[in-house]
Amino acid sequence: MSKKKENELKTRGVSNAKWGYLFILPFFVAYTLCTLIPQLMTFYNSLFMNYRDGLTQVGPKFVGLENYIKLFSPDNTGTIGILKYFGNTIILWLMGAVPQIIVALLLAVFFTSYRLNIKGQQFFKTVIYMPNLIMASAFSMLFFVLFSPVGPVNQVLLASGWINKAVDFLNIKISVRVLISLMNFLMWFGNTTILLMAGIQGIDQTLFEAAQIDGANSWQIFSRVTLPLLSPILVYTVITAMIGGIQMFDVPQILTKGIGMPNRTSMTMVMYLNNYLTTSKNYGMAGAVSVVLFIVSAVLSLIVYNSLSAQYRKPKRHRKY
């Protein structure tokens, strides 16, 4: 590039700054209006008593941290609601995510293995990714009708003589949890497989060849080469799955009609938040629950942010100007 042209570009760059601001303006205006201000309002609300009791509106009245104290004190049965629902969310997430990540890792290794040379990959990928795009609430409704006491699953079990009375799967703690995790597993393992496959394909192939020549077996190659080199992407996948897990709502909400049956053992954090927003319009308590959710997701986000920006700091292969 000639000196003259470079100078010309520079001056143009300065006069063009306004275009940069103009182009990013809509994003920031929309973000401020739709997320930032509501976010601050949510924090602010958590310090007020503000709810509807039947037809009467109570508050808003400033109460300081009272909502938080209420949130973390035991109810008349001695359970601390938010801890129970946080626990439920983690259990439901783990039950779905652990098999999801193991299966996805396994499939990603299968699909990328030259030695195995799996045929029909496109077909398998198409099938396993499909549940990811299906409406979660409709998928959950489908599970509900299939597993209801008069549904086809019970019909088959009764007809085969394995049971002599219909099983109410939706009123047994363990079966509700298994159904929710099964749905989450089905919805996400395909997505994770595809992400991990891309990760494995990004690893320098000569490393695998070298390990093979040195006489490493498949397990050694997996544990000593694939896994360590895949770990940044694996961490990213696990953390984003956690952030998704915290938001778990549609599936348990529809399956259990919003009450987390039996006995609120499948009630998640966002279902709890939703309860405060719908029935009593209790903005104060809902605000406090949101702040707890925000803190948890902010900590997780920080980890993703660090891994992404570390990647961004890496020297770029080709700079444009």
Partner 1 sequence: MMNDEQSRKARIQLMITRVVVYAILIFLTFLCLFFFYMLIINSTRSNAELQAGFSALPHGHFIENFKNAWTDASINIPRGMLNSFIIASCCAVLTTYFSALTAYGIHIYDFKLKKPAFLFIMAVMMIPPQVSAVGFIQLMYKFKLTNNFLPLIVPSIAAPIVFFYMKQYMESVLPIEIVESARIDGASEFRTFNQIVLPVMKPAIAVQMIFSFVQSWNNYFIPALLLDKAEMKTVPIMIAQLRSADYSKFDMGKVYMFILLAILPVLIVYLLLSRFIIRGVTAGAVKG
Of 43-82, binders to partner 1 (CB under 8 A) are 44-45
From 191, 226, 265, 266, residue interacting with partner 1 (rule: CB under 8 A):
191
Residue number with CB closer to partner 1 (154 or 265): 154
- How many residues of this chain interact with partner 1, rule: CB under 8 A? 112
Q: Are 284 and 174 in contact (CB under 8 A)?
A: no
- Would you count residue 186 as binding partner 1 (CB under 8 A)? yes
- Would you count residue 290 as binding partner 1 (CB under 8 A)? yes
Tokens 């997701």 — which residue? 297
- Would you count residue 228 as binding partner 1 (CB under 8 A)? no
Tokens 């399956």 — which residue? 255
Residue type, 299: V
From 66, 148, 216, 280, residue interacting with partner 1 (rule: CB under 8 A):
148
From 6, 7, 41, 263, residue interacting with partner 1 (rule: CB under 8 A):
41
Residue type, 277: L
Residue number with CB closer to partner 1 (74 or 204): 204
Residue number with CB closer to partner 1 (56 or 77): 56
Q: What is the DSSP string of 197-229?
A: HHHHHTS-HHHHHHHHHTT--HHHHIIIIIHHH
From 81, 199, 252, 260, residue interacting with partner 1 (rule: CB under 8 A):
199
Residue number with CB closer to partner 1 (173 or 257): 257
User: Strands, DSSP E only, in the chain?
Assistant: 48-53, 56-62
Q: Provide the sign of the torsion angle of the four alpha carbons 58, 64, 66, 68, taken in this order.
A: positive
User: Under DSSP, is residue 254 helix (H, G, I), strand (E, B) or coil?
Assistant: helix
Round to whole Å and give the CA distance between 87 and 81. 10
From 6, 34, 62, 83, residue interacting with partner 1 (rule: CB under 8 A):
34
From 69, 163, 174, 308, residue interacting with partner 1 (rule: CB under 8 A):
308
- Would you count residue 286 as binding partner 1 (CB under 8 A)? yes
Q: Which range in 67-75, 93-101, 151-159, 161-169 contacts partner 1 by CB under 8 A? A: 151-159
Round to whole Å and give the CA distance between 39 and 271. 19
Selection from 298, 299, 97, 91 nearest residue 191 by Cα: 97
Q: Which range in 69-77, 92-100, 138-146, 172-180 contacts partner 1 by CB under 8 A? A: 138-146
Residues listed for the chain: 321
Phi, psi (rounded to 5 degrees) for 272: -65, -45
- Would you count residue 310 as binding partner 1 (CB under 8 A)? no
Round to whole Å and give the CA distance between 268 and 91. 10
- Would you count residue 131 as binding partner 1 (CB under 8 A)? yes
Residue number with CB closer to partner 1 (56 or 117): 117
Please give the structure tokens belonging to residue 175. 């079966």
Q: Is 285 left (phi over 0), alpha (psi -120 to 50) or beta?
A: alpha
Residue number with CB closer to partner 1 (69 or 135): 135
From 205, 257, 263, 279, residue interacting with partner 1 (rule: CB under 8 A):
257
- Would you count residue 299 as binding partner 1 (CB under 8 A)? no
Distance linking the first and last C-alpha atoms of the chain = 10
The residues that bridge with 53 in the sheet, in sequence order, are: 56
Q: Which range in 71-79, 82-90, 144-152, 219-227 contacts partner 1 by CB under 8 A? A: 144-152
Residue number with CB closer to partner 1 (174 or 198): 198
